[in-house]
Amino acid sequence: MFGMDWGRKLSRGSLVRPFLKNKRWWFCSGNVGLRRGVSASAPAKPVLPDFDYEPKPYKGPLAEEVLEKRRKYLGPSLFYYYQKPLNIVEGKMQYLFDENGRRYLDAFAGIVTVSCGHCHPDVLNAIMEQSKLLQHATTIYLHHAIADFAEGLASKMPGNLKVVYFVNSGTEANELAMLMARLYSGHLGMIALRNAYHGGSSNTIGLTALNTWKYPIPQGEIHHVLNPNPYRGVFGSDASRYAEDVQDHIDHGTSGKVAGFIAETIQGVGGAVELAPGYLKLVYDIIRKAGGVCIADEVQTGFGRTGSHYWGFETQGVIPDIVTMAKGIGNGLPLGAVVTTPEIASVLAQKIQFNTFGGNPVCSAGGLAVIRALDKEKRQIHCAEVGEHMIHRLRDLQQKHDIIGDVRGRGLMIGIELVTDRKQKTPGKAETAVLFESLRELGVLVGKGGLNGNVFRIKPPMCFTKDDADFLVDAMDYAMSKL
């Protein structure tokens, strides 16, 4: 039954001996151990796609020294990925390089921030050329860069969304949007979704609804309604039932009037959760009847990342009253923006509204270069094609590995939720941590999200290719096969 020929095939010359343990046959040699029912043809270890770039020799401080200095001088709330943190010293398009020159596929884009690609030449050139002329002057003087950038952004917006305010981050953008909503409506109550993330400042922590990101401080007139999550939500994909919860909350939890409603179209930190189809259209009607304004948080979904549309809110067939954006807007520059209507913008004119660095010439020049590069390289179409290919491959992988509970998202904003029991949807938190480290060892850097940290967030630079997608999926297959 257990012939020498089979033994040679399994162990490349070593004798494979059968033995019985726990009522299962096992086969072992000096270098092989197979359990009956496990395929002998496990996936081969994947190899990074070729990339014609040689990183510069690194002569700076090594990881241990950097980590020691961080611990000594930076706040203890800072965290890092991986048991042995990476010292990333160079980036080029969709790849990163560590202190040893090892190349990694960046499937998280600096937390969904690098849109065009690391050190994109067009963006770099715009930043450097402006830096040589004028780095900073503030908006108390005229400079064409901020006006040009505002014009470029406004041209991408639907409806009457034509007035732009520049800030430095997504948190600042959401702070300003909430201020606008309250001033314009004359009400205080804000409604946000459970599982949402909108920032880490004292006000936007209130909008955020994940306990891992919230400090125990007063939140002030902020209400969280049911999350329209098609995978885990109590009403599945039934948008109308979730919208009824919003109306019920207004009727019983407020004066009947609200300042506004804010939502991501695909929840980022919450684990790439796309809202139930049609949800925003129903809720926007409810909010506007209650005297509020509707805010779309496009910090992660904007600029064509979803593939099907330039803005995430367009996937729901709505036009918001206020749109916030950051991250991909600057490809790594500290840049954010709020775009709204002239009517809503006018409420800020009753006082002085000023941001020292908002609209900085260097950031404005870089931001405009980002928009132009994304257009020139047709990245929205590219995201649609590569994203569709990757989602198809991931769903095939889901059929092979029971640990994959859900594959979701669109374009290059994808979530892979891991579970230990598909029926109960038990979060596979420990398994996710193991696979997270395994993927790094294979050369793939992904993000994690969701309340339980059991969702892989795949949101790479938008120059990510089908070959990169295949490598990522093959790496997951290889790692899961060894789990």
- pLDDT per residue of the chain (483 residues) written in tens, 0 to 9: 333 333 333 333 333 344 444 434 444 433 333 333 344 467 999 999 999 999 999 999 999 999 999 999 999 999 999 999 999 999 999 999 999 999 999 999 999 999 999 999 999 999 999 999 999 999 999 999 999 999 999 999 999 999 999 999 999 999 999 999 999 999 999 999 999 999 999 999 999 999 999 999 998 899 999 999 999 999 999 999 999 999 999 999 999 999 999 999 999 999 999 999 999 999 999 999 999 999 999 999 999 999 999 999 999 999 999 999 999 999 999 999 999 999 999 999 999 999 999 999 999 999 999 999 999 999 999 999 999 999 999 999 999 999 999 999 999 999 999 999 999 999 999 999 999 999 999 999 999 999 999 999 999 999 999 999 999 999 999 999 998
**Do residues 391 and 344 both lie within one domain?**
no
Domain boundary among 377, 402, 427: 377
Same domain, 249 and 341: yes
Helices 279-289 and 239-253 pack at an angle, to 10 degrees, of 20
- At residue 239, φ and ψ (nearest 5 deg) are -60, -35
329: tokens are: 């807007």
Which pLDDT does position 210 carry in this prediction?
96
Q: What six digits make up the tokens of 44? A: 């081969």
Tokens of 56: 């510069």
- Phi, psi angles (nearest 5°) of residue 344: -70, -40
CATH of the domain at 112: 3.90.1150.10
> Which of 362, 377, 392 delimits the end of a domain?
377
Whether residue 12 is contained in a domain is answered as no
* CATH classification at residue 178: 3.40.640.10
Query: Is residue 39 assigned to a domain?
Result: no
313 and 242 assigned to the same domain: yes
Q: Do 365 and 414 lie in a common domain?
A: no
Domain identity same for 239 and 384: no
Q: Which two tokens stand for residue 366?
A: 């870089």
Residue 47, domain member (yes or no): no
From CA 263, how far away is CA 275, in angstroms rounded? 9
Instruction: Give the E-state strand segments of 154-209 in sequence order.
Output: 163-167, 190-193
Same domain for 307 and 217, yes or no, is yes
294 and 427, same domain (yes or no): no
Q: How many domains does the chain have?
A: 2
Distances (CA, A) of 37 to 24, 25, 417, 476: 10, 10, 26, 21
Same structural domain, 345 and 435:
no
* Cβ pair 169, 200 in contact under 8 A: no
Last residue of a domain, one of 323, 347, 377: 377
Domain of 318 in residue numbering reads as 121-377
pTM listed for this prediction:
0.90
Tally the residues of the chain.
Answer: 483
- Alpha carbon 364 to its chain centroid, in Å, reads 23
Q: Do both 105 and 245 map to the same domain?
A: no
